[in-house]
Structure 1
Amino acid sequence: MSGDPGFTLREARPRDAETVARLVVALAEYEKLGHEAKASAQDFYAALATRRVRGLIAEVDGEAVGFCLWYETFSTFTGKAGFWIEDVFVGPEHRRLGIGTAFFRAVAQQAVEGGYARVEWAVLDWNEPAIAFYRRIGAVAQDEWTDQRLSGEALTAFAAGA
């Protein structure tokens, strides 16, 4: 982008845990998954402090209006690490300012500079605006794959040998 884009991106730090928690709740509500947002500010503090997750915060006039969190993965097919973007969110009133593009470009730049093979993420199948955005930036849907999850009681039971 040329000139002043009207927003700034900065690295998310442990002190941003409350902000991240608030924005995650807003994301969960947008995705109609508010009942699933159980992470606390303490959880985000620990994750950011230990660098288990990396993040960016978008600010407009000093107010946090969006976030992006990602972490390292590894591909046995490429033999290289990659990034998984866990969540990206920009508040509705600040969309279409280029913040989403800036988030994805910043993660892509870190991937390229660090020798990572790819950047991946998931999107809800009904989120057409996001899917259209991802196509515009060159992302390719991995339709031959489906995500699987083992969590909660099922995880505990399986780990115990049930």
Structure 2
Amino acid sequence: MNIRAARLGDEDAIHGLISELALYEKAPDEVTNTTEKLKVDLFVDKVCEALVVENESLEIVGFALYYQSYSTWKGRCLYLEDFYIQPEFRRGGIGSRLFSEVVKTAKKWGVKRMDWQVLDWNEPAIEFYKKHQAVLDPEWVNGRLFF
């Protein structure tokens, strides 16, 4: 398995994985982003970045998508928007390797904090993050507006 920065041409595979993740999270109809918009956001406007995981056949089987955010209390932060590896490729340590690569990016950027969300029913993900010494904060309620 190989981890590398996403490059132009990967947007179809990443979008497919985003759809798989939405299905797993029981929200397949919530994905309104398109492959073309993802392509622009990743490679033209560069509002986000991604790492991908390739299997032995060079198929993309996982990804992490993240961007810089800002905390008035801490300063620059990295927000890990999505982190997903197809189920058949889990349990071999690739998730830990991918997560570590995102952490390296956060340190390279000099951020003060790395944030992400995990659904409260997703026990495998919760255990994964705990294994990586993550603080899972039950105090904060997420707010959101849709436009």
Question: What's the TM-score once normalised by structure 2's chain length?
Answer: 0.95
More moved, 29-38 vs 131-140: 29-38
Hey, what does 1:4 align to over in structure 2? Answer: none
**Of 77, 86, 90, which aligns to 2:85?**
90
Structure 2 counterpart SS, 1:149: coil
**Of 23, 33, 52, which aligns to 1:57?**
52
Structure 1 counterpart SS, 2:112: coil
Runs (5+) with no aligned partner, structure 2: none
Hey, what does 1:33 align to over in structure 2? Answer: 27
Hey, what does 1:14 align to over in structure 2? Answer: 8
Is the 1:14–1:46 Cα contact (8 Å) retained in structure 2?
no
Shift of 1:73: 0.6
Shift of 1:113: 2.1
**CA distance in 2: counterparts of 1:11 and 1:52, whole angstroms:** 15
Tell me the number of residue pairs that the alignment of Structure 1 and Structure 2 aligns: 145
**Of 113, 120, 134, which aligns to 1:118?**
113
Hey, what does 1:103 align to over in structure 2? Answer: 98
Residues 1:42 and 2:36 are matched in the alignment: yes
Q: Which amino acid aligns with 1:124?
A: L
Shift of 1:101: 1.0
Q: Which amino acid aligns with 2:67?
A: Y
Is the 1:14–1:44 Cα contact (8 Å) retained in structure 2?
no
Shift of 1:144: 1.3
Hey, what does 2:66 align to over in structure 1? Answer: 70
Superposition misfits of 4+ residues, deviation over 6 angstroms:
none
**CA distance in 2: counterparts of 1:100 and 1:37, whole angstroms:** 23
1:36-75 deviation line (CA, Å, top 9, x unaligned): 1121100110111121011011011111110110010111
Aligned-residue Cα RMSD (Å) equals: 1.0
Shift of 1:114: 2.1
Structure 2 counterpart SS, 1:15: coil
Runs (5+) with no aligned partner, structure 1: 1-6, 153-162
